[in-house]
């Protein structure tokens, strides 16, 4: 385990920034030398990644606290093909309220210069241009604050720190009724409810999908019940009439960035918090009183009677939970928090950002975004995959379900004939899966990031999120088509490793003023697996060591090493009985090529710097 301090290592000059262009700078292109005298925090992100969105929220307070000495730069390094589109990136920067400069790095040039291997990764550069801290995953804000506070005084005393405003230039304000709507539901009154995610509100529209009738929420990011506030709300579902009568509200809203569920009373126009604490789940209880259980970016909700309540697509930790509004409880329903694609019993299944839900009497359908998959849970709580093969394969291809490909779908809906409509978000398409024939087809193309689909009478409504409106893209009588597109894979440089023995080192150094927390047992955990499993002769499994020996099969030419690591650290002050603690966690999927000239060591930085 590497726990040395930054001062004990040789200084490393931060590589230059290189990409296609800049956003949020008023048209100015920058280099690192332009920020000399300031701390620079590089946030390597991609807008499909829920962990990256969590980090955007984590950094807001830090950016405000160190506004005159810290420049945050988002380095956008796309995972999916759609994310390399400059217009899509521009939309995402607005959608997620990114209030700092963003470097567009579609070829992953700066990513490779900094040897990044995971989204998200943070790299802190000091006022003299040296790399002083690297961290992958979530939960690093307190460690970054400690590093900044320690180094700030030294640079101020040395005269190398220059205070002042940063280079952020906000874009002009938009003028649309909705802004990045996420999900839609119909009401018993024939109207529509739409979550207006970038305006932090829920909007009731007339049946035409255009005329605004009323709005719930002030429009300001927040979590108050009165006056009602939301933060990037997404999923929305009506409760059965009898249940709504008993609990006193009609609608469940997944208040995504607040990590809450909210109850909406349509008659009174009131909002109440019904589940979640407002804190993001990292570890701890997953079952208990609803307002005592932490949630993690609930993205969609749906009432499913066989589950006994409202199923929550917990995109933030790759699980499904159930909220029982009568009992006022939340419990884990499916998933283990490991990101991946694995079928079988619900308690053992792996998901990857479940983001859309739809129900029939026999099946809970879900769009599993990061695996570009359509999946379902049956009434025996068995998980099945219909479309999709894993975290790295995607495309737009129709035909049999086994051959079909999607690209980061966010929504699903049940059509009148029992087939499933799929909001195939990054393909900009509306797709159809027919369970009777096991065939996939395309209903409509050229949509702007469709994120949900709803059947209203005989009309298919689609939330065209990046077009900021509700659309009816399928006219009566329009036939579906077959698209024979190419299969694609996540474009990311593979790491060359040596066959035989390879040393895996997960680098973690507790930040200044903190220590690894061992009061209740080991403070670290590392889980290793591989795709295909034959890639690893030995070294798979879970233990508490940050270093271990892997044995790589020389007959397997390439594959992916899956490493999940976490570490708990606390304030290092014996006088404090209950010190503040943080859990840091990261999932790596490292594409590898096995070659005789490859490295015999794989170092992954969870927090700190490699020796």
Inform me whether the pLDDT recorded for 581 exceeds 90.
no
Inform me whether the pLDDT recorded for 4 exceeds 50.
no
Which CATH number does 494-611 carry? 2.60.40
Local confidence band at 595 (pLDDT 50, 70, 90 cut-offs): very high
Indicate the pTM of the whole model.
0.90
DSSP-derived secondary structure for 456-523:
ETTEEEEEEGGGTEEE--S-TTPPPB--EEEEEE---PPEEE-SEEEEEEEEE-PPTTEEE--TTS-S
**pLDDT tens digits, residue range 345-404?**
999 999 999 999 999 999 999 999 999 999 999 999 999 999 999 888 899 999 999 999
The three-point CA angle 513-515-520 to 5° equals 140
Q: Which residue would you say has higher pLDDT here, 314 or 338?
A: 314
**pLDDT tens digits, residue range 44-80?**
999 999 999 999 999 999 999 999 999 999 999 999 9
- Determine contact, residues 372/406, Cβ cutoff 8 Å: yes
Mean pLDDT across 563-583: 76
Does the N-terminal peptide bond of residue 264 adopt cis geometry, omega within 30 degrees of 0? Answer: no
**pLDDT tens digits, residue range 9-28?**
568 999 999 999 999 999 99
Residue 288, strand partner residues: 330
Q: Assess whether the region 1-173 and the region 176-334 belong to the same CATH fold.
A: no
Per-residue pLDDT at 521? 66
The 3-state secondary structure of 543-610 reads ECCCEEEEEECCCCCEEEEEEEEEEEEEECCCCCCCCCEEEEEEEEEEEEEECCCCECEEEEEEEECC
The CA–CA distances, whole Å, from 198 to 175, 180, 235, 529, 603 equal 12, 6, 14, 38, 38
Local confidence band at 584 (pLDDT 50, 70, 90 cut-offs): confident
Per-residue pLDDT at 243? 97
**One CATH from 3.40.710.10, 2.120.10.30, 3.40.30.10, 3.30.70.330 for 176-334:** 2.120.10.30
Residue 74, strand partner residues: 43, 102
Inform me whether the pLDDT recorded for 1 exceeds 50.
no
Mean pLDDT across 25-54: 96
**One CATH from 3.40.50.300, 3.40.30.10, 3.90.740.10, 3.50.40.10 for 1-173:** 3.40.30.10
**pLDDT tens digits, residue range 465-488?**
999 999 999 876 566 777 777 777
Inform me whether the pLDDT recorded for 8 exceeds 50.
no
Domain boundaries, the chain: 1-173, 176-334, 341-491, 494-611
Inform me whether the pLDDT recorded for 407 exceeds 90.
yes
Mean pLDDT across 587-602: 91
Per-residue pLDDT at 548? 95
Instruction: Classify domain 341-491 at the CATH class level.
Output: mainly beta
Inform me whether the pLDDT recorded for 158 exceeds 70.
yes
Paired tokens of 158: 């040395």
């Amino acid at each position: 385990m590497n726990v040395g301090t930054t001062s004990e290592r040789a200084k490393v000059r931060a590589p230059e920034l290189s990409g296609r262009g800049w956003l949020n700078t008023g048209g100015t292109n920058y280099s690192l030398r332009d920020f000399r005298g300031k701390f620079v925090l590089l946030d390597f992100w991609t807008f499909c990644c829920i962990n990256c969105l969590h980090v955007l929220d984590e950094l807001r307070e830090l950016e405000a606290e160190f506004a005159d000495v810290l420049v945050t730069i988002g380095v956008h390094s796309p995972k999916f093909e759609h994310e390399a589109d400059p217009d899509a990136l521009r939309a995402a920067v607005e959608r997620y309220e990114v209030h700092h400069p963003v470097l567009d790095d579609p070829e992953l040039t700066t990513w490779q210069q900094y040897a990044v291997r995971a989204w998200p990764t943070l790299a802190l550069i000091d006022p003299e241009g040296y790399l002083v801290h690297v961290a992958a995953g979530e939960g690093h804000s307190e460690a970054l604050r400690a590093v900044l506070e320690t180094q700030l005084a030294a640079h101020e005393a040395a005269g190398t720190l220059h205070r002042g405003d940063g280079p952020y230039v906000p874009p002009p304000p938009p003028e649309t009724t909705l802004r990045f709507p996420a999900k839609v539901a119909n009401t018993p009154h024939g109207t529509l409810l739409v979550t207006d995610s970038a305006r932090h509100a829920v909007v009731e529209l007339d049946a035409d999908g255009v005329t605004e009738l009323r709005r719930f929420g002030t429009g300001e990011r927040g979590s108050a019940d009165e006056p009602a506030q939301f933060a990037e709300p997404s999923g929305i579902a009506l409760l059965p009439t009898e249940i709504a009568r008993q609990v006193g509200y009609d609608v469940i809203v997944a208040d995504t960035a607040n990590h809450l569920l909210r109850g909406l009373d349509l008659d009174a126009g009131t909002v109440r918090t019904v589940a979640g604490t407002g804190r993001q789940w990292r570890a701890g209880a997953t079952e208990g009183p609803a307002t005592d259980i932490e949630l993690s970016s609930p993205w969609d909700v749906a009432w499913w009677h066989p589950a006994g309540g409202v199923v929550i697509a917990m995109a933030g930790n790759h699980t499904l939970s159930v909220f029982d509004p009568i009992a006022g409880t939340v419990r884990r329903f499916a998933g283990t928090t490991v990101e991946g694609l694995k079928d079988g019993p619900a308690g053992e299944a792996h998901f990857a950002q479940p983001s859309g839900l739809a129900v029939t009497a026999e099946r809970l359908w879900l769009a599993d975004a990061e695996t570009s998959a359509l999946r379902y849970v049956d009434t025996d709580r068995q998980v099945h995959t219909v479309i999709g093969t894993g975290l790295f394969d995607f495309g737009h291809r129709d035909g049999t379900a086994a051959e079909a490909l999607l690209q980061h779908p966010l929504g699903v809906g049940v059509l009148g004939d029992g087939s499933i409509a799929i909001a195939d978000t990054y393909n900009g398409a509306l797709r159809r899966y027919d369970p009777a024939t096991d065939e996939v087809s395309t209903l409509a193309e050229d949509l702007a990031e469709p994120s949900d689909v709803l059947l209203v009478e005989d009309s298919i409504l689609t939330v065209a999120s990046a077009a900021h409106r509700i659309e009816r893209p399928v006219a009566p009588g329009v036939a579906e088509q077959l698209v024979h597109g190419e299969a694609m894979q996540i474009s990311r440089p593979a790491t060359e490793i040596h066959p035989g023995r390879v040393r895996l080192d997960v680098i973690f150094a507790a930040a200044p003023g903190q220590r690894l927390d061992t009061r209740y047992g080991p403070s670290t955990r590392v889980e290793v697996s591989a795709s295909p499993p034959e890639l690893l002769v030995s070294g798979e499994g879970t233990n508490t060591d940050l270093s271990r020996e892997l044995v790589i099969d020389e007959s397997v030419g390439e594959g992916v090493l899956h490493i999940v690591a976490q570490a708990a650290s606390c304030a290092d002050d014996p006088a404090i009985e209950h010190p503040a603690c943080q859990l840091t966690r990261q999932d790596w999927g490292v594409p590898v090529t096995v070659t005789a000239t490859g490295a015999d060591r794989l170092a992954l930085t969870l927090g700190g710097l490699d020796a």
